[in-house]
């Protein structure tokens, strides 16, 4: 420290980085998950930390929040002051570092005020009762700082999505003195829609402009190229890029840095030529949940996308068609016959050749504490004709081997528990489970949510390949990039009905434009204005790939 | 075994596997891979302790402990616990945490047989059937309240258990009832190879349960319902029916166990039902540390029952009195749940 200050006296060196992580190593047993990771976040910048699943970025996040202890020799400094390791959340908070967890970390049942102040509530001097008036003033002051108004007594669950995001940001910001501090967002944006995302980054831009720093740990490449000032990239536990200026970097360049190789061409698929006599599945007059009397057809080999704003009903349709939610009216006309939806249950739908891959593999996709093989075979064994006839292990392993091949699941461990697999492999197992039922009508909801760019590539290719074998595919999704890659045609929902149809190949911009009916897709955060603190270009450096 | 780094569970297959094997690697690097791989040692740890315990008691009590009678006592005296633990597993496997009413339900069936036969003059076989039907009906009532109405499992079964304990005491006027016909006791006591037939019935029950869970679609559906209801529902599993039937089966198995217990002793004391509650939990949770670490499994539970019986009997032969079983069962329950928690965290 003393030397550092001497040096500063001689030449006006750039200020100490807001966050400096150096020589970060982490081993579990004989397995080294982080090797000499370096991360520097400058004051007043938006810094992104990216990498594939398993690259070590969640381990870094867990070290920053004190869940893991790094190997000896590591240093974590905030504004030049070294923290004791393992990181104590109270201490890092006192230094101005706040962490926002996945999916914002809010409790829906509690009010905005309670969510804001939990962990900071103070009792009054004698009665030890919470002084809610003081808490309210504290919370209001924070919202005033970011210039947003949110009803403090409303339950968080009743708020609009973008207001929820505001609450999470405000909560993280409240401990930082204006102009200092660091907010770490650990995959916080994965549940946000496009519009909320723009709102979210608008607030971040203002915060960063005051000199507070932001570290985004993220999967969405767009957040890096569209919003971050600098980026640090982890690959196989090493920081292969440390603090490079994002500038005009494209998503393709970023992808190859993340993977260490170029992906094969994964542009939108070729336009599908379908004759008028191609057999098709008709969705006829479906009503239920938010969906109102929707009819359309899906031709053999075609991938049709469904999208729209939250609540428009696009994401209810797959569940209605698969008998997972109750439909009031409507039918599906399959090659095998007409299937009425009212009163349809999952068993009848699966038997008719309809397979639903729902959103959220942990909630409704896989039994995480059961084996990979049992999960892949589950859609078959669950409906076995004779519940007491033993399951054939040999058939099961053959089935699993086949899908490991088709979807490129590595490592091949049929008897491992699913939760020991990476997120991308889990998603492959999840999709394999439903493709293994040999469906004619495949319904997917957010099929590549929260998987890294490599696994997304494999999954998209697998869905394309399945369509070519003669499936009819329906994809409900909110991610315009995913839909543009996957779909031949996109149906845009509004108030439960199909409002617009995008035929033929369409770009992400086309899709966003259709969803917001004319509102175009803005860059998440236009850079190059209002940056508060000077950006230390000297701090940027690159590791060796 | 308790290296701190094993409590940290990073993401990623290799990392998790490495963390899981780390404890063995650092302490016993020379062991062959089949022992160090996964939870190889942990799987048999309780069985090894069991063997050591037998050796220790044998050394301390060469005359009283090491004879055929001791082992016949251990194997022939635990039927009540085997049936109760199997009943408890029914609901635990499908993810309904604990059925607190099972011990009382068992007691209801056990007291109904002598009450109906001795006090009311029923045919003993008819009384036995009625007792099983009554216990099953309690299971149906639990199932209806928990699964169909959606009331909290612990509240329903704790209340129901206390309620039927009261009913059992009322039906017997608060006193033990004995005097069942001798030929009826043969359903529990008939000797095969020196052991009572009820031992074999318990063995068959647990083996069949283990087979059901490991190899059949029904057993797999039960495990998946326990692991994740929504996943199971979307795959076409009749989730509600399976949860409902688990409570009914639990009641029926407890009822059969109660009837066998009444038959073995020729009667029943309704005030002892509650003393089965804790051993039942101790055996079932200790079972999660045996054979399939971190999982509730019938064979592990069966071994746990006899492990506990061995420990208690040895301490009693060493001069311990009635306090021994409380200390042993209570201590083992806490240790077993701790081990099971650590093991499942490592498996994650």
Is there a single domain that holds both residue B159 and residue B18? no
Is there a single domain that holds both residue A325 and residue A212? no
Is there a single domain that holds both residue A113 and residue A199? yes
| DSSP result, A154-175 | SBGGGS-HHHHHHHHHHHHHTT
Contact B228 A367 (CB under 8 A): yes
Query: What pLDDT, in 10s, does the model give residues B240-256?
Result: 999 999 999 999 999 99
Is there a single domain that holds both residue B135 and residue B217? yes
Closest C-alpha among A185, A246, A234 to residue A213: A185
Is there a single domain that holds both residue B47 and residue B19? no
Is there a single domain that holds both residue B226 and residue B320? yes
- Whether A545 is in a domain gets the answer no
* CATH number for position A335: 3.40.50.300
Is there a single domain that holds both residue B32 and residue B106? no
Residue A345: its chain B contacts at CB < 8 A?
236
Query: What pLDDT, in 10s, does the model give residues A63-118?
Result: 888 888 888 888 898 888 888 888 887 788 888 888 887 767 778 888 888 888 87
Nearest-angstrom CA–CA distance, A395 and A373: 11
The predicted pLDDT at position B225 comes to 92
Minimal C-alpha gap between B247 and chain A (Å): 18
Mean pLDDT of the region A534-542? 42
Tally of domains within chain B: 2
Is there a single domain that holds both residue B148 and residue B205? yes
Is there a single domain that holds both residue A33 and residue A181? yes
Query: What pLDDT, in 10s, does the model give residues A228-269?
Result: 999 999 888 888 888 888 888 887 788 888 877 665 555 556
Helix axes B79-93, B298-317, angle to 10 degrees: 140
Is there a single domain that holds both residue B279 and residue B159? yes
Is there a single domain that holds both residue A293 and residue A207? no
Complex-level ipTM = 0.75
The predicted pLDDT at position A204 comes to 85
Residue B17's domain comprises 1-38
Listed by number, the residues of chain B in 22-41 with a beta carbon closer than 8 Å to a beta carbon of chain A are 22, 25-26
3-state secondary structure of A456: helix
Mean pLDDT of the region B89-115? 93
Nearest-angstrom CA–CA distance, B70 and B62: 11
Listed by number, the residues of chain B in 326-345 with a beta carbon closer than 8 Å to a beta carbon of chain A are 344
Contact B228 A346 (CB under 8 A): no
The predicted pLDDT at position B15 comes to 37
- Whether A1 is in a domain gets the answer no
- Residues A103, A190: contact at Cβ < 8 Å? yes
Query: Is B54 in CB contact (< 8 Å) with chain A?
Result: no
Is there a single domain that holds both residue A219 and residue A317? no
Nearest-angstrom CA–CA distance, A100 and B3: 30
Confidence of residue A522 (pLDDT cuts 50, 70, 90): low
Query: What pLDDT, in 10s, does the model give residues A420-467?
Result: 887 778 888 998 999 888 899 999 998 887 677 778 888 888 888 888
Is there a single domain that holds both residue A230 and residue A307? no
Is there a single domain that holds both residue B31 and residue B15? yes
For residue A41, pLDDT over 50 is answered with yes
The predicted pLDDT at position A275 comes to 61
- Whether A256 is in a domain gets the answer no
Residue A378's domain comprises 280-515
Choose between B230 and B17: higher pLDDT.
Answer: B230
Is there a single domain that holds both residue B6 and residue B90? no
Confidence of residue B40 (pLDDT cuts 50, 70, 90): low
Is there a single domain that holds both residue B60 and residue B148? yes
Choose between A278 and B309: higher pLDDT.
Answer: B309
- Whether A268 is in a domain gets the answer no
Listed by number, the residues of chain A in 398-427 with a beta carbon closer than 8 Å to a beta carbon of chain B are 411, 413, 416-417, 419-423, 425
Instruction: Please give the residue of chain A at the shortest CA–CA distance from B10.
Output: A59
What token pair was written down for A313? Answer: 């009903």
Is there a single domain that holds both residue A292 and residue A169? no
- Helix residue ranges per DSSP H, A118-214: 132-145, 161-173, 194-209
In chain A, count of helices (H) and strands (E)? 17, 20
Is there a single domain that holds both residue A82 and residue A193? yes
Residue A52: its chain B contacts at CB < 8 A?
none
- Whether A147 is in a domain gets the answer yes
- Whether A287 is in a domain gets the answer yes
* CATH number for position B319: 1.10.3470
Is there a single domain that holds both residue A350 and residue A427? yes
Residue B24: Cβ within 10 Å count: 23
| DSSP result, B14-37 | HHHHHHHHHHHHHH-TTS-HHHHS
Contact A382 B224 (CB under 8 A): yes
Nearest CB to B11 within list A54, A363, A367: A54
Is there a single domain that holds both residue A373 and residue A443? yes
Query: Is A378 in CB contact (< 8 Å) with chain B?
Result: yes
Is there a single domain that holds both residue A211 and residue A75? yes
Contact A379 B236 (CB under 8 A): yes
Mean pLDDT of the region A164-169? 82
For residue A4, pLDDT over 70 is answered with no
Mean pLDDT of the region A292-311? 88
Tally of domains within chain A: 2
The predicted pLDDT at position A117 comes to 81
Contact A389 B228 (CB under 8 A): no
Is there a single domain that holds both residue A198 and residue A296? no
Minimal C-alpha gap between B239 and chain A (Å): 10
Is there a single domain that holds both residue B145 and residue B200? yes
Nearest-angstrom CA–CA distance, B223 and B235: 13
Average pLDDT over all residues of chain A: 81
Is there a single domain that holds both residue B15 and residue B92? no
């Amino acid at each position: 420290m003393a030397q550092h200050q001497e040096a500063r006296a001689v030449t006006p060196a750039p200020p100490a980085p807001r966050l400096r992580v150096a020589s970060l190593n982490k081993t579990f047993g004989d397995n080294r998950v982080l090797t000499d990771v370096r991360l520097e976040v400058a004051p007043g910048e938006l810094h992104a930390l990216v990498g594939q699943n398993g690259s070590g970025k969640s381990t870094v996040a867990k070290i920053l929040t004190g869940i893991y202890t790094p190997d000896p020799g590591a240093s974590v400094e905030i504004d030049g002051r070294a923290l004791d390791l393992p990181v104590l959340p109270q201490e890092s908070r006192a230094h101005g570092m706040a962490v926002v967890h996945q999916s914002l970390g809010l409790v829906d049942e509690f009010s905005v005020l309670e969510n804001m102040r939990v962990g900071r509530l103070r009792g009054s001097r004698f009665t030890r009762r919470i002084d809610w008036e003081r808490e309210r003033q504290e919370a209001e002051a924070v919202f005033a700082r970011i210039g947003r108004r949110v009803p403090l007594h409303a339950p968080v669950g009743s708020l609009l999505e973008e207001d929820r995001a505001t609450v999470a940001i405000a909560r993280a910001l409240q401990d930082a003195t204006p102009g200092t501090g660091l907010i770490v967002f650990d995959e916080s944006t994965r549940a946000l829609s496009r519009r909320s995302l723009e709102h979210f980054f608008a607030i971040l831009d203002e915060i960063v402009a005051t000199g507070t720093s932001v570290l985004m740990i993220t999967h969405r490449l767009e957040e890096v190229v569209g919003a971050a000032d600098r980026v640090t990239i982890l690959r196989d536990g090493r920081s292969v890029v440390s603090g490079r200026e994002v500038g005009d970097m494209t998503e393709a360049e970023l992808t190859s840095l993340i993977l260490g190789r170029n992906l094969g061409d994964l542009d939108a698929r070729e336009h599908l030529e379908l004759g008028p006599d191609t057999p098709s599945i008709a969705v006829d007059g479906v009503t239920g949940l938010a969906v109102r009397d929707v009819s359309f057809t899906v031709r053999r080999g075609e991938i049709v996308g469904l999208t729209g704003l939250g609540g428009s009903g696009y994401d209810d349709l797959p569940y209605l068609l698969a008998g997972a939610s109750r439909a009031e009216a409507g039918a599906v006309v399959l090659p095998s016959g007409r299937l009425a939806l009212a009163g349809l249950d999952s068993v009848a739908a699966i038997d008719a050749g309809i397979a639903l891959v729902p959103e959220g593999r942990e909630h409704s996709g896989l039994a995480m504490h059961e084996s990979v093989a049992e999960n892949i075979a589950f859609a078959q064994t669950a409906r076995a004709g004779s519940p007491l006839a033993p399951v054939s292990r040999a058939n099961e392993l053959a089935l699993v081997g086949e899908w490991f091949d088709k979807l490129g699941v590595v490592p091949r461990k049929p008897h491992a528990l699913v939760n020991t697999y990476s997120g991308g492999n889990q998603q492959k197992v999840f999709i394999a489970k439903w493709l293994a039922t040999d469906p004619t009508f495949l319904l997917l909801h957010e099929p590549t949510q929260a998987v890294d760019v490599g696994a997304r590539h494999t999954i998209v290719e697998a869905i394309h390949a399945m369509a070519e074998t003669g499936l009819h595919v329906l994809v409900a999704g909110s991610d315009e990039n995913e839909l543009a890659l996957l779909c031949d045609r996109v149906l845009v929902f509004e108030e439960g009905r199909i409002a617009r149809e995008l035929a033929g190949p369409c770009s992400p911009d086309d899709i966003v434009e259709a969803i917001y009916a004319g509102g175009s897709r803005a860059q998440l955060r236009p850079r190059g204005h209002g940056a508060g603190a000077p950006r230390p270009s000297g701090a940027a450096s690159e590791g060796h790939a | 075994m308790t290296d701190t780094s094993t409590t940290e569970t990073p993401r990623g297959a290799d990392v998790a596997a490495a963390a899981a094997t780390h404890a063995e690697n650092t302490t016993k690097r020379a062991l062959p891979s089949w022992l160090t791989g996964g939870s190889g040692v942990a799987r048999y740890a309780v069985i090894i302790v069991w063997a050591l315990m037998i050796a220790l008691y044998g050394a301390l009590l060469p005359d009283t402990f090491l004879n055929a009678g001791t082992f016949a006592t251990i194997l022939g005296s635990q039927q009540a616990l085997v049936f109760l633990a199997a009943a408890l597993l029914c609901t635990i496997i499908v993810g309904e945490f604990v059925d607190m009413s099972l011990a009382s339900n068992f007691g209801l069936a056990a007291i109904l047989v002598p009450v109906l036969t001795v006090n009311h003059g029923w045919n003993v076989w008819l009384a036995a059937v009625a007792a099983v039907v009554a216990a099953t009906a309690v299971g149906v009532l639990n199932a209806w309240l928990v699964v169909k109405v959606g009331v909290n499992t612990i509240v329903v079964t704790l209340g129901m258990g206390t309620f039927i304990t009261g009913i059992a005491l009322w039906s017997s006027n608060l006193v033990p009832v004995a005097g069942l016909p001798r030929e009826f006791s043969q359903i529990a006591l008939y000797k095969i190879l020196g052991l009572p037939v009820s031992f074999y019935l318990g063995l068959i029950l647990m083996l069949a349960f283990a087979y059901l869970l490991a190899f059949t679609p029904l057993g797999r559906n039960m495990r998946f319902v326990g692991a994740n209801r929504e996943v199971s529902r979307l795959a076409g599993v009749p989730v509600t029916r399976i949860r409902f039937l688990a409570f009914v089966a639990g009641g029926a198995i407890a009822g059969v166990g109660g009837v066998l217990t009444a038959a073995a002793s020729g009667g029943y004391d309704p005030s002892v039902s509650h003393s089965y509650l804790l051993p039942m939990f101790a055996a079932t949770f200790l079972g999660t540390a045996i054979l399939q670490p971190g999982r509730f499994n019938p064979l592990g539970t069966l071994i746990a029952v006899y492990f506990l019986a061995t420990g208690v009997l040895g301490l009693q032969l060493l001069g311990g009195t009635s306090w021994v079983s409380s200390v042993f069962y209570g201590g083992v329950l806490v240790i077993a749940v701790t081990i099971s928690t650590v093991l499942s965290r490592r498996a994650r």
